[in-house]
Amino acid sequence: MEAVPWKVSLHGGHSGAFCDHAEGTLQQILEAAVAQKMSVFGITEHAPRLGARFLYAREIELGWDVPKLERDFRAYRSALDPLVREFGPRLQVLRGFEAEVVPSASYSQVMRRYRSDMDFDYMVGSVHFVGEIIIDGEPEDFERALNRAGGLEALAIRYYEGVARMVEALRPEVVGHLDLIRKNGRTYGRLDTPAIRRSARETLEVIRRHGCILDLNTAGYRKGLGCPYPEPWLLRQAHEMGIGVCFGDDSHGPQQVGAGIEEARLYLLDNGVSEIRTLAKEGDRVVRRSISLQ
Ligand SMILES: [Zn+2]
Ligand SMILES: [Zn+2]
């Protein structure tokens, strides 16, 4: 089965073995990636959130604690190398993780330490929290974040400022789901007001300066947002600024591997983007490549 060069995902591969809200094993996920004719598949499990106050309700129900998250993360890292070797002839597997921005005071050191001490190929920098309140979780939490910020526009601006700070602090190769604020925020009002656009543009400037790749995240389809992250105005702005994008299926189980990637290719072409920028392994080095979507 011949892999399709542009079928690349740099964000996903969350699995039931290492994540409370995912399904299946890494083995099954990678088999699915081969079946989808993917050429490069980056596995990016969530990094631990080092604070009991950041545990999800389901994790608490399961009796999990912070040391358990750390143990699982180390086990996750150990599981990667044998899979890279096993799948090597059929699929290039990259070893990554999805960084968090909590706890605010220490995430920068913690995530950089994971990165350097555990020998990952790359990192996806994502912001799921504003002021330590989760913004892509339960509606009650989102309302709390809204009230704390003083409304949707203020929260969106704080969110984009948080993304810029994260990029400065972590210098991730990939920036995850840039307008994740849409997931819960869109029912409360517009997320493209002039002030929000200004803030997002400043964040894009930081992303451009650090040479990060934007995650064209197809979970937007499954979450009912009608398009991937980022939405068209943001994607076009990024493209005009010369920022590269790459698909991320944000898969949380084998059945989500590659989901939405065909539509997302057309979405990119419709918005004037005719190539993806991706990461690949050459020997021990991680290099960047551009691949045509035509
Ligand atoms: Zn997840
Ligand atoms: Zn995420």
Q: How far is the CA of 157 from the centre of ligand 1 (A)?
A: 23
Q: How far is the CA of 252 from the centre of ligand 1 (A)?
A: 7
Q: How far is the CA of 14 from the centre of ligand 1 (A)?
A: 6
Note the pLDDT of residue 274: 98
Q: How far is the CA of 92 from the centre of ligand 2 (A)?
A: 22
DSSP category for residue 121: S
Ligand positioned closest to the Cα atom of 174: 2
Note the pLDDT of residue 216: 98
For residues 133 and 135, what is the distance between their CA atoms, to the nearest angstrom?
6
Ligand positioned closest to the Cα atom of 18: 1
For residue 178, which of 202, 195, 145 has the smallest C-alpha distance?
202
Q: How far is the CA of 98 from the centre of ligand 2 (A)?
A: 7
Among positive and negative, which fits the CA dihedral 266, 271, 274, 278? negative
Q: How far is the CA of 176 from the centre of ligand 2 (A)?
A: 6
pLDDT in tens, 151-162: 999 999 999 999
Ligand positioned closest to the Cα atom of 136: 2
For residues 73 and 116, what is the distance between their CA atoms, to the nearest angstrom?
14
pLDDT in tens, 111-133: 999 999 999 999 999 999 999 99
Note the pLDDT of residue 64: 97
Q: How far is the CA of 235 from the centre of ligand 2 (A)?
A: 18
Note the pLDDT of residue 241: 98
Q: How many Cβ atoms sit within 10 Å of the Cβ of residue 89?
A: 6
Ligand positioned closest to the Cα atom of 128: 2
Check pLDDT > 90 for residue 59: yes
Taking ligand 1, which is a single-atom ion, which protein residues have CB atoms under 5 Å away? 14
Computed over its alpha carbons, how large is the radius of gyration of the chain? Answer: 18
Note the pLDDT of residue 205: 98
Q: How far is the CA of 267 from the centre of ligand 1 (A)?
A: 24
DSSP category for residue 229: B
Q: Is the pTM of this model over 0.95?
A: yes
Mean pLDDT of 61-69: 97
Q: CATH: 3.40.1010.10, 3.20.20.140, 3.40.50.620, 3.90.660.10. Which one for 8-292?
A: 3.20.20.140
**Tokens standing for 18?**
């290492």
CB 111 within 8 A of CB 44: no
- Domain residue extents for the chain: 8-292
Ligand positioned closest to the Cα atom of 252: 1
Check pLDDT > 80 for residue 1: no
Q: How many Cβ atoms sit within 10 Å of the Cβ of residue 144?
A: 15
**Residue 264 pLDDT class (50, 70, 90 cuts):** very high
Mean pLDDT of 96-109: 98
Q: How far is the CA of 241 from the centre of ligand 2 (A)?
A: 24
CB 10 within 8 A of CB 2: no
Note the pLDDT of residue 272: 98
Check pLDDT > 90 for residue 88: yes
pLDDT in tens, 163-174: 999 999 999 999
pLDDT in tens, 187-243: 999 999 999 999 999 999 999 999 999 999 999 999 999 999 999 999 999 999 999
**Tokens standing for 38?**
């993917």
Ligand positioned closest to the Cα atom of 46: 1
